[in-house]
Chains A and B, each alone.
Chain A
């Protein structure tokens, strides 16, 4: 017996195929859908097949796959942990003028922490998810569990997994990390899963209509205060509707008529101001990040050359990282980077392996 695995099943195609592969590989698999949130979602959206990942329809899909595979299946309640570590964090970051990444928080505090704890309670050897990433070892980083990019470069999810601890990596399986999405879909069709044709999941699972502005207005109306839009010379050139509704690099929705297109370069919480500038003014040469997690290395004591990614969809950029004390780094890019956004993660790579990562505090020159 290869071991007992607690498999997180969202009802989507990736985790369904992952579960099937584990069963084929001889693991004793227990399927679980994590019930993470219950917003007051309009009923017609709740019952819509293509709504957020923890809707009732998703549970039904996951259950149907589990039945097909002949594995036990449970729905577990993580609403308390999710509200405290993901939704509150999401709201607070926006209130602080930052742009959060809730998937990173969910992976860090719910999937590879609270869920891992449940696995231990059920005497499981591993947790498994349908993430696109690989876990391995490499003599270049002796004694370390490593997180590596998935075979399908477009689907790679290492950016949102950079907070995995050594303990979590030692007890996690990513069964589809070595596959292309197209192969996964083909397998789902072969297995006859109801989920085979489901579209990829949406951006923010707990904001059912993807309108995070509406969500924030409902949750923290007091934090949505209109104020000035300033240019980089400090002149008022317009009005914004509330700082949390904007993000660095944004061009659309500013309501400005300017001779040349302008972009958000900064959110100034103290002055409740949105600062805008022309395209070249959104580029900065470096950043400060803190709240670090190192994976391939135990810590950073000397400057190091690597590549860094400052947003999920951003290309990797060559840089040098310098330690600042215990839990912060300064990153100097070889070429200035566009829209370095406080609150987003910066993840460092050495080839296909993740060195580690942290949260961007601010851009520097």
Chain B
């Protein structure tokens, strides 16, 4: 059976060069970067090279990059580190209502701990946030603003540079974090141009290994160390022996991502557009989010999100899985059961539409023949499920 991987926003296949590098650091250069001997020093060299590679992808200084266990830890740390270090200024933070759960649930946890959280108003369907909406939410006590660069479900690209500039004009001391997990590798990211203070990214979304990510922390503002105490790694900001194989793999993946950004984005866009043209021709299939044909710059090039009228997303997804087409629904709860996407609900979708939404995210894995097969299977399933619910 043909299999078509349309879930690049969930994770990607590790690039073969990256996999080789990970293997090398598991088996040959296995030293502890804190050790003084040669094999330790070589491991340390690998980690520092990776730091420079990740910094280069973001236009940052290597010393501003801190490795974490992934995007979730980076997002958690961004919120907690900023809030904890700036209690003197206030206890208020602002987030978008469709942040990834790494940010959303951390904000909720902070709320339970006594912090105040404001969720921004967003434009219906697209989720676009205007500078006015952000400025209206700011208070003198606002310590942190966290807005994702690209939404993971509907792919909306936010104008982080514009939002950050507006916020800082109003309050130069406000800290700005952006979750760039989905943006990295597809949208050019330059922390200086964006003007952000904190930015989180993840390795496995850019064809690197899982279990590693990074937080960019601009030099020169108050920010607290991470959650672990111990051996003083990552310049005393995050204790624990470095995940060396993961980090060096991430570094190489970041280097390749920087080099390949335009080609990857163009390929993903071609696949996505091909897919959308196919499925949107089916009656009752509706696009969620920004129309990429009208505003390609406002949507992640690989992201497609559609709802099928009168058909449950779960049934579609499982049928597609059985046919070898791997897609995803908005969000799955801890157990793996599908729940209505919080992102779609946040941008004003009905519960039914949110329950029937399907996300297809394209990337290097895909070919035009793949897309043809995926569209064909999609159409078959819609037809079958509709026939089933039609009055007998």
Contacts and interface: CB of A to CB of B under 8 A. Distances in A.
Interface string B282-319: 00000000000000000000000000000010110011
Contacts of B333: 35, 38, 77
A77 B336 CA distance: 9
B334 interface: yes
A304 interface: no
Contact of A121 (B319, B321, B335, B337): B319
Contact of A122 (B322, B337, B338): B322
Contacts of B161: none
A56 interface: yes
B319 A77 contact: no
Contact of B335 (A35, A72, A122): A35
Given A74-B318, A121-B315, A122-B315, A35 B385 contact: no
B388 A75 contact: no
B335 A75 contact: yes
A59 interface: yes
Interface in B314-372: 314-315, 318-319, 321-322, 333-339
B388 A121 contact: yes
Contact of B318 (A33, A38, A59, A122): A122
B335 A118 contact: no
A77 B338 contact: yes
A121 B336 CA distance: 19
Contacts of A79: 337
Given A121-B385, A122-B322, A33 B315 contact: no
A120 interface: yes
B256 to A, nearest CB: 34
B339 A77 contact: yes
A168 B285 CA distance: 32
Interface in A19-45: 33, 35, 38
A76 interface: yes
Contacts of A59: 335-336
A59 B388 CA distance: 29
Contacts of B312: 121
A279 B336 CA distance: 51
Interface string B223-253: 0000000000000000000000000000000
Contacts of B336: 59, 74-75
A123 B385 CA distance: 10
A77 B314 contact: yes
Interface in B168-221: none
Contacts of B384: 123
Interface in B257-271: none
Contact of B315 (A35, A38, A118): A118
Contacts of A121: 312, 315, 318-319, 385, 388
Contacts of B321: 72
Nearest to B319: A122
Interface in B126-148: none
Q: Which of A38, A59, A118, A121 counts the most B-chain CB atoms under 10 A from its CB?
A: A121
Contacts of A38: 333
A299 B322 CA distance: 41
Contacts of B335: 33, 35, 56, 59, 75
Nearest to A46: B334
A35 B385 CA distance: 22
Contacts of B318: 74, 121-122
A56 B315 contact: no
A77 B313 CA distance: 11
A311 to B, nearest CB: 33
A10 to B, nearest CB: 13
A104 to B, nearest CB: 24
Contacts of B388: 120-121
A70 to B, nearest CB: 15
Nearest to B335: A59
Nearest to A35: B337
Nearest to A120: B388
Nearest to B311: A121
Interface in A44-84: 56, 59, 72, 74-77, 79
Given A38-B333, A75-B336, A76-B338, 8 more contacts: A35-B335, A56-B335, A72-B322, A74-B318, A76-B314, A121-B388, A122-B315, A123-B384
In the A-B complex, the 4 residue pairs with the smallest Cβ-Cβ separation, listed nearest first, are A35-B337, A75-B336, A121-B315, A77-B337
12 contacts: A56-B335, A74-B336, A75-B337, A77-B337, A79-B337, A121-B315, A121-B318, A121-B385, A122-B318, A122-B319, A122-B322, A123-B384
